[in-house]
Amino acid sequence: MSNATQLLQNIPIDPLTGALTVPIYQTSTYVQHAPGINKGYDYSRTNNPTRETLEKIAAQLENGKIGAAFASGLAAIDAVVKLLKSGDEIIAVDDIYGGAYRLFTQVYEQYGIAIKFVDASEPENIFNAVSEKTKLIWIETPTNPTLKIADIAAIAKIAKANGCLLCVDNTFASPALQQPLTMGADIVVHSATKYLGGHSDVIAGLVITKEENIGARIKFFQNACGAVLAPLDSWLIIRGIETLYLRIKQHCINAQAVAEYLENHPLVDKVFYPGLKSHPNHAIAKKQQKGFGGIVSFSLKQDELQLAEQFVSNTTIFKLAESLGGVKSLISHPANMTHKTIPAEKRKAAGVSDSLIRLSVGIEEAEDLILDLEKTFVQLELLIKEVKAKVSDTTKAEERIYC
């Protein structure tokens, strides 16, 4: 049975009424027959049937044992870090999601958990960084916004050999394209806000574990710390997941077409998309992913903040907004938005140049998306000419003054 068919088969029919869709159990508590004797539910922070259904579906999607749904992607990440204790160390990918960076460095470092950042596109860098204090290796692949790829199987071997856990933030690829647990990872996390939800209408996170005992620890933290996903939001994620394979297929087709268009545009400097043969990690992406995803980044030959600012403000179909992974195409300017708080030097060293633009390519027709970009490039070209003309006018004026 194909993955898409299996997924839809896995979404249960309500045994009570035969409802085709999963019921939303909008309740905080459950009536008990006698103290402690109930139908498996006593309080919705601890367990809720709608959330439980999502957690089972998510575990099946990622080929894992236990799923746990959280109020956001960051709450999911937070639950995984809680597996560590003071004195332990994390090795994390250097262009990690900004929120995870903030959580690791500004929250967990103060509790004595050390963090080292390395470029994970070379597994050797991780190998060299591991010490006996390392308890967790944290990677994202592809990364944001420069779409670097890490070899999951190779890094999983390093983790195993050194007795530490490997957690993969699988938000960008989604389980439709990549299943890290089958490649040796121990834990997968998702910002379900992105591709799993798919409609930019809910904030949610998931943790999926390969082992039952680690899953039980995560479930303990979920209840003990309380950042649970609400029943209605759980239902929205289930509804989103139903069309995951179909949406991802179109995201991949569109992103490939957009990336190829950009690669041939005279105003574009670099295009970052693992589906391009020019991508430095194209071979690894091809080996471990079923497709290359919906995120494309590119930079301009004239690497100026102002030009990129103009570009992202002028597109029509691509809406200027943070976030990604929804059906509608979005555009963003990392240097001025998601990466604004990172010092310019550090930001540029990580490959986020002034003119870097990130596209979350949606499921519209590729042709329309390319026309939108084409129209915006024409406007940009006019602007560049205007600026040049102004510069030469002032030079002429200055020449007149000085001669």
Ligand X SMILES: *Cc1c(COP(=O)(O)O)cnc(C)c1O
- Give me the active site residues, please: 45, 97, 169, 194
Closest distance of CB 196 from ligand X, Å: 10
Closest distance of CB 15 from ligand X, Å: 31
CA distance 154 to 152: 6
146 in contact with ligand X (CB under 6 A): no
93 in contact with ligand X (CB under 6 A): no
* Interacting residue with ligand X among 48, 50, 141, 171 (CB under 6 A): 171
372 in contact with ligand X (CB under 6 A): no
Q: Site size for ligand X, by CB under 6 A? A: 16
Options 71-79, 271-279, 297-305, 378-386: segment touching ligand X (CB under 6 A) = 71-79
CA distances for 76 relative to 5, 206, 335, angstroms: 28, 6, 26
72 in contact with ligand X (CB under 6 A): yes
240 in contact with ligand X (CB under 6 A): no
Options 95-103, 346-354, 366-374, 382-390: segment touching ligand X (CB under 6 A) = 95-103
94 in contact with ligand X (CB under 6 A): no
* Interacting residue with ligand X among 95, 169, 242, 354 (CB under 6 A): 169
* Interacting residue with ligand X among 97, 104, 235, 273 (CB under 6 A): 97
191 in contact with ligand X (CB under 6 A): yes
Nearer to ligand X, 171 or 297 (CB): 171
193 in contact with ligand X (CB under 6 A): yes
Report the residue closest to ligand X, judged by CB: 73
Closest distance of CB 179 from ligand X, Å: 17
Q: Which residues contact 96 (CB under 8 A, 6 or more apart)?
A: 104, 117, 138, 140, 143
In SS3 terms, the chain reads as CCHHHHHHHHCCCCCCCCCCCCCCCCCCECCCCECCECCCCCECCCCCHHHHHHHHHHHHHCCCCEEEEECCHHHHHHHHHCCCCCCCEEEEECCCCHHHHHHHHHHHHHHCCEEEEECCCCHHHHHHHCCCCEEEEEEECCCCCCCCCCCHHHHHHHHHHCCCEEEEECCCCCCCCCCHHHHCCCEEEEECCCCCCCCCCCCCEEEEECCHHHHHHHHHHHHHHCCECCHHHHHHHHHHHCCHHHHHHHHHHHHHHHHHHHHCCCCEEEEECCCCCCCCCHHHHHHHCCCCCCEEEEEECCCCHHHHHHHHHHCCCCEECCCCCCCCCEEECHHHCCCCCCCHHHHHHCCCCCCCEEEECCCCCHHHHHHHHHHHHHHHHHHHHHHHHHHHHHHHHHHHHHC
Closest distance of CB 318 from ligand X, Å: 18
82 in contact with ligand X (CB under 6 A): no
384 in contact with ligand X (CB under 6 A): no
Closest distance of CB 140 from ligand X, Å: 5
351 in contact with ligand X (CB under 6 A): no
209 in contact with ligand X (CB under 6 A): no
Closest distance of CB 374 from ligand X, Å: 28
Nearer to ligand X, 184 or 197 (CB): 197
Closest distance of CB 147 from ligand X, Å: 12
Nearer to ligand X, 169 or 354 (CB): 169
Q: Restricting to residues 10-69, name those near ligand X by CB under 6 A.
A: none
Nearer to ligand X, 194 or 347 (CB): 194
Q: Assign residue 191 a region: left if phi > 0, alpha if psi is -120 to 50, beta otherwise?
A: beta
Helix axes 366-402, 244-263, angle to 10 degrees: 30
289 in contact with ligand X (CB under 6 A): no
* Residues lying near ligand X in the complex (CB under 6 A): 72-74, 97, 99-100, 140, 144, 169, 171-172, 191, 193-194, 203, 205
